[in-house]
Amino acid sequence: MLVLGIETSCDETAVAVVEDGVRVLSNTLATSRALFEELAGVIPEEAARQQLLCMIPVLKQALREANATMKDIDVIAVTRGPGLLGSLLVGTSTARMLAETFGKPIVGVHHTLGHLSSTWLDTKTPPLFPVLTLSASGGHTDLWYRTSHTKGELIGRTRDDAAGEAFDKGASLLGLPYPGGPSVAKAAEGGNTNAYEFPSPLKQDDTLDFSFSGLKTSLKYLLRDLEGSFDMKDMAASFQDAICEHLLSRLRKAADHYAKAASIHLVGGVSANKRLRELAKDALTDREVLVPSSLGYCTDNAAMIAAAGYFLLQEHPTLAEETFTTNASLPLEATIG
């Protein structure tokens, strides 16, 4: 089954063609990020304007690279939320227009189900359930235990900032460019991870929830107290490790509790982090640790949405006949529902 995936939840315009949820025939993306780098954030109206301009060229390119036409496509899958409303509407309107014009079924996908599906992309042996997944991005950080693509539970979530947001806000405090994850990681190369001390968030808490706002505040006060006299490499390395260690302390606890999980997956933009991957291998030696097969599948992309659409229809075939809404605040609980 050939699925055309469309993803426009933030500043990216992404279209992909994926076969049977795993084989990526094309994964095309245009981003207006460079426009927003200096502003350390995205301007929603401007992002949507750029997406309107890019959508049709990106769609054409994705089809061309997959050596396909709309006739070959079996289903259209599109991100229906959460995200920036104007951006989401560019994607869902395009998907609805294509479905109508070419008489194709269409399925709306929760952005997070896309991330949860990203470890299936381009795999020869698809992972076996149950799986435990840490999904950590700029907008969300959560832990899932699933017995199938759409069955399972949300077992932990952030109470304030997302892990990627901690990287982004930390980078801004350090004067490093947006997005913060890659720039903090780059600044941290060769740095001493123990040079500066950060608190361990939610240390006494026995849930699997996360909290990152305290780390950002600690960095702010540390920088204020040091009055500009600090080593950037060491500071970035210590801050990066504090974020990674908090993520892994929760993941380790979840792995012990959900002993049946056959593998542990790290997905979302933050899963591109090399140090996180290194530390995860050390912390989770008793389990197979999987990350998306390419860095482009960690950050937002349309291949993961096409895969999620395929898995959704495999498990709930009637969804193709149902309508869906575009919802900027689609709750996390609706991810696999």
CB 17, CB 2: distance < 8 Å: yes
- Residue 82: partners with Cβ closer than 8 Å, 6 or more residues away: 9, 110, 111, 139, 327, 328, 329, 330, 331
Closer CB to Zn ion, 209 or 300, in the complex: 300
Q: How far is the CB of 330 from ligand KG4 (least distance, A)?
A: 13
Binds Zn ion by CB under 5 A, chosen from 94, 133, 137, 335: 137
Q: Is 202 left (phi over 0), alpha (psi -120 to 50) or beta?
A: left
Candidate residues 5, 82, 91, 139; the one interacting with ligand KG4 per rule CB under 6 A: 139
The CA–CA distances, whole Å, from 78 to 19, 134, 177, 186 equal: 15, 22, 30, 33
What percent helix, strand, coil does the chain show, rounded to 5? 45, 20, 35
Position 270, amino acid: V
**Does residue 106 contact residue 76 with C-beta atoms inside 8 Å?**
yes
Q: What is the Cβ-side half-sphere exposure of residue 31, based on CA atoms within 13 angstroms?
A: 16
Q: What binding mask, one character per residue, do residues 256-295 give for ligand KG4 by CB under 6 A, x or -?
A: ------------xxx-xx----------------------
Binding mask 297-326 for Zn ion (x = CB under 5 A): ---x--------------------------
Site residues for ligand KG4, window 84-123 (CB under 6 A)? none
In 10 A of CB 192, how many CB atoms? 14
Q: Which stretch binds ligand KG4 (CB under 6 A): 31-39, 54-62, 177-185, 231-239?
A: 177-185
Q: Which of 11, 142, 168, 245 binds ligand KG4 (CB under 6 A)?
A: 168
Neighbour count for residue 194 (Cβ, 10 Å) = 10
What's the min distance (Å) between Cβ of 103 and Zn ion? 30
Whose Cβ is closer to ligand KG4: residue 16's or residue 73's?
A: 16
- Stretches 45-53, 67-75, 178-186, 229-237: which one binds ligand KG4 (CB under 6 A)? 178-186
Helices (H), 5-78: 33-37, 44-65
Closest separation in Å from C-beta 122 to Zn ion: 18
When asked if residue 36 is in the footprint of ligand KG4 (CB under 6 A), the reply is no
Name the residues that contact ligand KG4, by CB under 6 A: 10, 137-139, 164-165, 167-168, 179-182, 185, 268-270, 272-273, 299-300
